[in-house]
Amino acid sequence: MARTTTSDARKKDTREKIELGGLIVKAGLRYEKRALLLGALIELSSRVKADDGERTRLIAIGVEAFGHDGE
């Protein structure tokens, strides 16, 4: 049973990583250097923690981008 639980956890983790990678592609950053992506995400993390207005603005941009999935 522990083996099944471990396997399920690994599958869930893998799926989450694939989805997060898809966000990088959707944002048009597929071919950027990994160091740039990590730096941008670290910077973004500090910005959204410090500024609720920035967080709200970025969420709106994301919602808009997801809304255009079918186009």
Q: For residue range 4-49, what is the model confidence (pLDDT) as tens digits?
A: 789 999 999 999 999 999 999 999 999 999 999 999 999 999 999 9
Cβ density class 40-56: b for 16+ within 10 Å, e for less: eeeeeeeebeeeeeeee
Predicted TM-score (pTM) of the model is: 0.76
CB atoms within 10 A of CB 59: 11
pLDDT at residue 70 greater than cutoff 60: no
